Structure 1
Amino acid sequence: MKKRMKKVVLLLLVSFMMLSTGACSSQEDATTAAVGKDADGNVVEIVFPLEETATLSFITNASANSTQNPNERAIFQRMEKATNVHINWTCFVEDQFSDKKNLALAQAKNLPDGLYNAGMSDYDLLRYAKQNVIISVEDLIDNYMPNLKKILEENPEYRSMITATDGHIYSFPWIEQLGSGKEAIQTIGNMPFINKTWLEELGLKVPTTTKELEEILIAFKDNDPAGNGNTIPMSFIINGGNEDVSFLMGAFGEGYGDVVDHIAVSNDKKVIYTAAQDGYKEAINWLHELQTKGVIDPEAFTQDWSTFVAKGKAGRYGLFFSWDSANIVANMNDYIPLPALKGPTGTVSVPRQSGSATSGFDRGRCVLTSNCKNPALAAAWIDQMYTPLQSIQNNWGTYGEEDKFNIFEMTESGMLKHMDLGSESPVEVRQAQNVGGPLAILDSYYGTYVTCPADAQYRLDWIKDIYTKDMIHEYVYPNVFMSREDTDIVTQYTTDLDKYTNQKKAEWILNGGVNVEWDEYLEKLEGYGLSKYLKVKQTYLDNYLVK
């Protein structure tokens, strides 16, 4: 009995506090004690700041151009002061994180308490849960995470999206609402940007068809507006997500174009593999024609992000693709978004990304391991990330850092106001301050806790004013959580399908041959399990649509 009584923490009354800022305001976040029961049924309450310092350990990652010590970031320094929880971090460089993470998870006896910015796919979550490497967290959410619990209660679709078919929750999500449906900011990743300054210098109009674009790219090549042979009419990173060329492919066939996962949904609710459509083949042929005419950057098939950006900052691009032009070029005013083009048969279509209709969402952003010595404390600490002001700062950056560019200023009313980034790259400025991880930013926060980021607002405006009218397909594939068995099947198929599809896409644009090899290509896709893959995807789409 005495042993049990030692585990009991007396219930305390906790006043409202603004954990994320330490400032008092009418907009401060309300934080209450995390109350639950331990394994022996004793009531446990966790109140921040703790009376005595506690320590947790996490693996995370950071971009190469920012600090590799998370405890040097103002956000985590303030968090430690507000909670009295010290974090021992193991931080890997972002582009090495996947391999380093897998190696760490293979050493079960040496696991930390959890992984922050975990980058866990559905396959990872279910595989590591089966191996007892990570633990289920639904009871922790209900007992020790009042902030996340409230978000899930008010937005039940998110609880459904993080719950596996076995009824368990294995991770803490990242949620970012910025628009919805066709107007969600995530609906288009690889937006095309054309150099309007060069168009004006050469007396050219913004193209409206694929033929007109071809003529303009040739004009860029012939007139060399960058000077000294530095002009690159069109550049991209093949199969590079937001920097891929696939947006233009929507002008062919039935307009499915191509997206990262090669999945689209027809208006009669059928799952489509974009890279197996006739329109895809026609688009590849057209892109190869551009390649033979010398208007595609020769490095588009091999370059990395830093090379791509360096050429953009040097003002060499006539047309390029990215999430935001400000991330690539020195003066974004030189560029405008290129509207969807009309193809040879009259098709005009904007391909939409899978999962984009329900806002930005990452299911596997943070997990706890079976080595976690105090899951209740870890959950309560993670829950602080879900207070509105803390989520906002974790996602974008913070305020009040001396001798540094701050993302925000704190207004007298307690609202975080986005600073003018000027000529700064949004992604680089944010990487210097933000910490990412599990968080939730809801549309209701804008105007209450935070202003809408200027770069997000102009991107939302572009989508609404330029692209929405040409989104001819009504559905996108939803963000569903498949069973472990189906996830295993889909992962097996997609590994082979994506590798082969991406390889052939690059080869055909560069060297041609799609017409000759097309039938053999389709047969090989089928050999890799395309029909079985689509059948599984269709089953989950059907179930989602009847809910």
Structure 2
Amino acid sequence: MKKKLRLTALLLTLTMSCSLLAGCGANKAPSDSVPEAPADSGSAAPAEESSSGERTLLADGNTYASGLPIVNEKVTFRIARGKNPLDSSTDTNEKPIMKLMEEATNIHIEWIDIPTGEGQKEQLSILLSTDMPDAFMGMVDPSDIMKDYASFVPLNDMMEQYAPNIKETYDKTNGEALKMLTYPDGNIYSFMSSVYTQHKSWTIGVQFINKDWLDRVGKDIPTNLDEYYEVLKAFKEMDANGNGDPNDEIPLGYCENNFQARLLQFMGAFGFNDNYRIENGKVIPTANTPEYRQFLEYYHRLASEGLLDIEGFSQTDQQFMSKAKQGLYGSFYAWTPDTIIDDPELSDQYVQVLPMTAPGLEGKETVYGTKDRFMGIINGLVITSSCKNPEALVRWYDYMASSVELKQTARIGEKGVMWEMKDNKIYELQDQGPDFNFQNACYTYGLMQACPVLLYPDEMAWDDPETSPQNYARDGYVTAVEKWIQDEGLMPSRIATEEATLSKAVYEPDLLSYIKNFTANAIMNGVTDASWEQHVADLEKYRYSEWIQWQQDYLDGKF
């Protein structure tokens, strides 16, 4: 990074809601302005004082009811968080927001970083059963809480008393946020994080192809899967990268551990993007359909001819991006090319591929996602019964949401380095030279999805082509595929009843694991009539029809 990351003494005079994006970036419509708040201590309300002028302490004799610092004598909390592969930080407390938070609140955090991806659930289970921290940022599912309510702290009353910034944000949803957070026993056990909604995240991965390779092999951008096969075959056989070695190209890159490059992105040409699809309010199964088999057969053909990177089933996100950075891939899915390729000369070679059609399924193609979908993460902060002072931890989390400067610093990093404010509008500083990867820096110097509260569309950064070229490009990519994104592509976000949640938790992990393993085996080794018939039977063994009915009942609001 050309600019030295420095910690500025942010004493906070600006207010209300800015948080994180699902992918690093901004909103389609720019913010008109960022509201100002009265200059104060940075807390939403001044500290309560007794008649003698002393601040009010809670029952523990160390925690203040309001104002800063939050505690008199320094305290330490243990918090477990999911660490994204793009986060190259070695100490979460070295992130600018954490230095500011500890200085202002007098609270120290001992972080337990759990890498996202394969193995995270197992590590989470160990913590839940043997080494419960004071809190979790993300990772904990509603079913984890419902299995043992006593292990988690209800936050209803504490939100009213000690989280004025969070409460104000939720109030803007006219009660919808609280409905999404309320468990069947009537309590709230988590605070939200992430962004309320944003145009850039209506879908996840966008498909790209190397235009220089296309020109070198004499092909146009493909419009259907038959043309795509011929392009990938040419990439494999015709020294598409032009280095004299016809054997070092990987025509199609893929990575199950990269959220934007998973197999569900590849399914769209066949009319679905998951193990079910939603059409006119009906949940329709896909994993037992002829279209699913057609999807498997197409990608098995690519795999068997060396056109698909079959290491994608097991390779890490870092390995996937390493190959992309070496220019080995002819085509892939990504947020934008420059989020996985640092070299601008190389990333500029990739152009967008619009949704392609599969033979016999013309007009059925779709893109993963939902228009105007709610994107908040309901398990942003979950406090456990191991926490001896939940009031202080609630105040700590709420403090991050007390000003624009804090929220942006929590989200992506330091003001003046990662973002700036001009005329009460926020601009992200993405263009910092060829050696700077903005998305990697967002995860390394910020908390991204773990940033508290909800960031609303009118509080997002401008998509300025000069300061934020990645945002600007991403918005264009999503606009280009907008007509293929469904109005009801994904499930709504809310907590189901305890009975329904726990009943599904009994069989869902085994069902999804089976589908994942069968899909990988079929793509690598092929599918026959016999193996397909066995697959359809095995789906019922793993209660697939019951799972589909559960999704339908959930969509219908029956629980």
Partner Cα distance (1:301, 1:415) in 2: 39
Amino acid at match of 2:276: I
Q: What SS does structure 2 have at the residue aligned with 1:366?
A: strand
* TM-score after normalising by structure 2: 0.81
CA distance in 1, matches of 2:393, 2:518: 46
Matched position secondary structure for 1:140: helix
Aligned partner of residue 165 in structure 1, secondary structure: coil
User: 2: distance between equivalents of 1:216 and 1:448?
Assistant: 37
Confirm whether residue 104 of structure 1 aligns to residue 127 of structure 2.
yes
After TM superposition, the structure 1 stretch with the greater mean CA deviation from structure 2, 132-141 or 437-446, is: 437-446
**Once the 2 structures are TM-superposed, how far is the Cα of residue 543 of structure 1 from its aligned partner?**
1.8
Over 3 Å counting, the alpha-carbon distance change for 1:154 and 1:209 in structure 2 is same
1:135 and 2:148 matched? no
Q: Answer yes or no: is the 8 Å Cα contact 1:52–1:84 preserved in 2.
A: yes
Partner of 1:48: 68
Per the alignment, residue 10 of structure 1 pairs with none
Whole-Å separation in 2 of the counterparts to 1:173 and 1:520: 42
CA distance in 1, matches of 2:400, 2:9: 8
Query: Once superposed, what is the RMSD of the aligned Cα atoms?
Result: 3.2
Give the counterpart of 2:249 among 201, 208, 231: 231
Return 374-383 or 453-462, whichever deviates more.
453-462
* Aligned partners of 2:80 and 2:135 also within 8 Å: no
1:508, distance to aligned residue in structure 2 (A) = 1.0
Contact 1:34–1:145, Cα closer than 8 Å, also in 2: no
Query: Structure 1 residues 373-382 or 508-517, which shifts more?
Result: 508-517
Q: Structure 1 104/59 Cα, relative in aligned 2: closer, same or farther at 3 Å?
A: same
CA spacing shift, 1:238–1:515, aligned 2, 3 Å? farther
Residues 481-526 of structure 1: CA deviation (Å, up to 9, x unaligned): 1122211222223211111111111111111115432222122111
Determine helix, strand or coil for the equivalent of 1:360: coil
Does residue 107 of structure 2 align to residue 114 of structure 1? no
Partner of 1:395 in structure 2? 411
Instruction: State the partner residue of 2:458.
Output: 444
Mapping for residues 42-441 of structure 1, pairs under 5 Å:
45-50=65-70, 52-61=72-81, 62-63=83-84, 66-94=88-116, 98-107=121-130, 111-115=132-136, 117-129=137-149, 132-155=150-173, 156-179=175-198, 184-226=199-241, 227=243, 228=245, 229-238=247-256, 241-252=259-270, 255-256=271-272, 258-259=273-274, 262-267=275-280, 269-329=281-341, 330=343, 331-345=346-360, 346-353=362-369, 357-387=372-402, 388-400=404-416, 406-411=417-422, 413=424, 415=426, 417-423=428-434, 424-436=436-448, 437-439=450-452, 440-441=454-455
Alpha-carbon distance in structure 2 between the residues aligned to 1:37 and 1:535: 52
* 1:483 alignment partner in structure 2: 497
Alignment correspondent of 1:502: 516
Aligned residue identity for 2:315: Q
User: 2: CA distance between counterparts of 1:460 and 1:283?
Assistant: 29
* Aligned residues of 2:196 and 2:457 also touching (Cα < 8 A): yes
What amino acid sits opposite 2:521 in the alignment? E
Q: CA 1:112–1:243 in 2, change beyond 3 Å: closer, same or farther?
A: same
Letter matched to residue 414 of structure 2: T
The CA distance in 1 between the partners of 2:503 and 2:300, in whole Å, is 34
In structure 1, give the amino acid aligned to 2:277: A
Structure 1: segments with no counterpart, 5+ residues: 1-18, 401-405
1:190 partner amino acid = G
TM superposition shift of 1:544: 8.0
Q: Is the CA contact 1:415–1:450 (under 8 Å) kept in the aligned structure 2?
A: no
Structure 2, gaps ≥5 residues long: 1-7, 15-33, 39-43, 49-55
Report deviation, 1:37. 11
Change (3 A) 1:523 1:168: same
CA contact (8 A) 2:80 2:112 kept: yes
What is the DSSP-based 3-state SS (H/G/I as helix, E as strand, rest coil) of the residue aligned with 1:358? coil
SS in 1 for 2:400: helix
1:13 maps to: none
1:421 offset after TM fit, Å?
4.4
- Partner amino acid for 1:347? G
Question: What is the CA distance between 1:82 and its match in structure 2?
Answer: 2.2
Distance 1:391 1:411 in 2: 17
Deviates more, 1:415-424 or 1:367-376: 415-424
Give the corresponding residue for 1:526. 540
- The offset of 1:277, in angstroms, is 2.6
Say if 1:246 and 1:421 are closer, same or farther in 2 by CA, change over 3 A.
farther
**1:408 partner letter:** W
C-alpha distance 322-448 of structure 1, shift in aligned 2 (>3 A): closer
The 3 A distance-change label for structure 1 pair 112 and 220 is: closer
2:515 aligned counterpart, secondary structure: helix
Matched ranges for 1:468-479 at <5 A? 468-471=482-485, 474-479=488-493
Measured in 2, the distance between the counterparts of 1:512 and 1:520 equals 14
Distance 1:141 1:509, change over 3 A: same
1:288–1:511 Cα contact (<8 Å) kept: yes
Distance 1:537 1:365, change over 3 A: same
Residues 64, 72 of structure 2: 8 Å contact kept: no
Residues 150-169 of structure 1 show CA distances to partners (whole Å, capped at 9, x for unaligned) of 11111132222111222211
In 2 relative to 1, CA 75–474 (structure 1 residues): closer, same or farther, beyond 3 Å? Answer: closer
Equivalent residue, structure 2, for 1:516: 530
Q: What does the per-residue CA deviation read over 1:67-121, in whole Å, with 9 as the maximum and x for residues that have no partner? A: 33222222111112222333343445556654444323323xx644322x23112
Q: State the Cα deviation string for residues 313-357 of structure 1 (Å, max 9, x = none).
A: 011111112233223223321112211012212134223247x74
TM-superposed CA distance for 1:44, in Å, is 7.3
Secondary structure, aligned partner of 1:441: coil
- 1:209 shift after superposition: 0.9
Q: Which has the higher contact order (CA 8 A, sep 6+)?
A: 2
Distance in 1, matches of 2:293 and 2:462, equals: 48
Equivalent position SS for 1:45 = coil
Instruction: Decide whether aligned partners of structure 1 residues 450 and 214 sit closer, same or farther in structure 2, where only a CA change above 3 A counts.
Output: closer
Contact residue 251 and residue 347 of structure 1 kept, 8 A: no
Q: Which amino acid aligns with 1:543?
A: G
For the 8 Å contact 1:20–1:79, the answer to whether it is kept is no
Contact residue 120 and residue 364 of structure 1 kept, 8 A: yes
Output the CA distance in 2 between the equivalents of 1:84 and 1:472: 47
- When structure 1 is superposed on structure 2, of 486-495 and 239-248 the one drifting more is 239-248
